[in-house]
Amino acid sequence: NWSANWKRIVAGVLTGTGAVLTYGLLYQEVEQADAGLPTTEKRSSLPVFSHDEISKHRSLEDGVWVTYKGGVYDITEFVPMHPGGNKILLAAGGALEPFWALYAVHDQEYVLEILSQYKVGELSVEDLKKQHNAKASDPYSSDPERHPVLRVNSKKPFNAEPPPEILTENYITPHVLFFKRNHLPVPQVDPVSYRLQVEGLPKGALTLSLKDLKTRFPKHTVTATLQCAGNRRSDMNKVKQVKGLNWGISAIGNAKWSGARLRDVLLAAGFGPEVAKWARHVHFEGLDKDVSGSAYGTSIPINKAMNEDGDVLLAYEMNGEDIPADHGFPVRVVVPGVVGARNVKWLGRIVVSTEESSSHWQQLDYKGFSPGTDWSKVDHASSPAIQELPVQSAITIPADGAEIDRSDETLTVKGYAWSGGGREVVRVDVSLDGGKTWQVAQLRSGDKGQPDEPSPPPGRAWAWKLWELTAPLPPDADELEIICKAVDNSYNVQPDSIPPIWNLRGLLSNAWHRVKVKVTED
């Protein structure tokens, strides 16, 4: 049963632009397939249809037909099984190629095998030629250049992280090394014609240019760590396969963000005591749009947005320079202490609302579930959208599998630690013996040898700590299991192990981080 098979393989995966996620696990470098003109040898003896005929089949009532490389497919039966939901209807009556170019996950043998079950005909050679000549250009072709050191989890959309040992070389992560987590192609935004819409307030919409943002509101700078909800997902995959990009431990970075406070902008747009009575959420929409024209979007609770200590920024600078294209040029939201997904890049629209965002990313993704919950029984409404993240830490040096020379006598372990919600990391415990004994690491809030950044006020510790422990190499051990665990100032701690926090999307992976190293003789 091919339908069931397909369902089993990709169920729940292709939801919206989450589409690229699982396949990133299997094929780390997904490239757009060449939609070239097939030779006539490959054509079957099935009926030949013209584009006009095919284009009549655009609904469940009339049947849903699509073309792919000159084949015609009646996928009506498959529509309700499409894990990406009814986005599939966007391709109805036409070619799949432009859509699959956007959601590169479809370039899989599995997908082609499933599709082949639905073949009902061949596209006329004349229309096939037309289609070929009108081939959609690669929507990712204008994505910016990236640094070659990045480890790419998905090329289209671009998702990549730096090597761990480089990550903690700097307290402030250089933008080229800062993890990239794009859901869609990077939009090209002209800073001069850029306009930000602020809506939902009684005065009506407020439209702000980049210059307005820079000149009408005080410039506020916040050092804040952003972390992807999927950071350390690879640790969950080791327990049991989850759905999502196989992030290592470096989907996290720390930067100095500057911009206007969201609070100031909302006040200027008419937020006042009357609005405070009904407003509950602030929506953010990006300028990165999928083929249906829907923008990436999410929301945060109003109290985070309006709290004077919330430090939510409409940031136009990262580390003292214009925000780079991959990080949201010209304006992104920075929601300190909150999961990366809410820090919307290429910000186009802000809406004050009584409701949470109804977007896919707010309602059907970025939520946590019990380890016992599988795709067959997941109820997204039962779980709150991730906002503040839990306490986290990881070992960046030494790398897992590294060899330590016994003659070194001491071992230096380094890493990062951070907690969401402005909770300051107050301690990192390190074990060299698999958790039997623990030593307290040195924490710092600045580059090595430089003074620490000033202590943040309570509840506003948005930036990570780097930590380091130098300890005698335990004698006689041939292998060490090194573990780190952090404690924040609410005394929340990381859980010991992954299986009890395992969840089907591999989010919130914050158990103790462990690396094993070998001790070798000179």
What residues are annotated to the active site? 82, 106, 181, 228, 366
Radius of gyration of the chain (CA): 25
- x/- mask, a copy of itself, residues 493-512, rule CB under 8 A, reads xxxxx--xx------x----
426 binds a copy of itself (CB under 8 A): yes
Closer residue to a copy of itself in complex, CB, 163/368? 368
Q: Rounded to an integer, what distance in angstroms lies between the CA atom of residue 41 and that of residue 274? A: 71
464: which residues sit within 8 A by CB, 6+ positions away?
225, 252, 254, 416, 417, 418, 425
Site size toward a copy of itself, by CB under 8 A:
46
Q: Rounded to an integer, what distance in angstroms lies between the CA atom of residue 162 and that of residue 176? A: 9
417 binds a copy of itself (CB under 8 A): no
Helices (H), 327-432: 360-363
353 binds a copy of itself (CB under 8 A): no
Please name the helix (run of DSSP H) or strand (run of DSSP E) that holds residue 233, with its range, or none. helix 233-239
Inter-residue contact 69 to 40 (CB < 8 Å): no
Closer residue to a copy of itself in complex, CB, 408/496? 496
Triad 495, 497, 498: Cα angle to 5°: 105
Q: Which of 159, 237, 387, 393 binds a copy of itself (CB under 8 A)?
A: 387
- x/- mask, a copy of itself, residues 303-322, rule CB under 8 A, reads xx--x-x-------------
Q: Which of 116, 241, 292, 439 binds a copy of itself (CB under 8 A)?
A: 439
Triad 163, 164, 169: Cα angle to 5°: 100
438 binds a copy of itself (CB under 8 A): yes
230 binds a copy of itself (CB under 8 A): no
291: which residues sit within 8 A by CB, 6+ positions away?
87, 90, 98, 99, 102
Which span (84-92, 395-403, 410-418, 485-493) binds a copy of itself, by CB under 8 A?
485-493
Nearest to 305 by CA among 247, 265, 340, 263: 263
459 binds a copy of itself (CB under 8 A): yes
Q: Which of 490, 516, 518, 520 binds a copy of itself (CB under 8 A)?
A: 490
> What is the closest distance, in whole angstroms, from the C-beta atom of residue 338 to a copy of itself in the complex?
10
Phi, psi of 164 (to 5 degrees): -55, -40
Q: Which of 327, 414, 427, 513 binds a copy of itself (CB under 8 A)?
A: 427
Residues of the chain by 3-state class (helix, strand, coil), percent to 5: 25, 30, 50
233 binds a copy of itself (CB under 8 A): no
451 binds a copy of itself (CB under 8 A): no
- Applying CB under 8 A, the residues found at the interface with a copy of itself are 301, 303-304, 307, 309, 368, 370-373, 383-384, 386-391, 420-421, 423, 426-427, 429, 435, 437-440, 457-459, 485, 487, 489-497, 500-501, 508
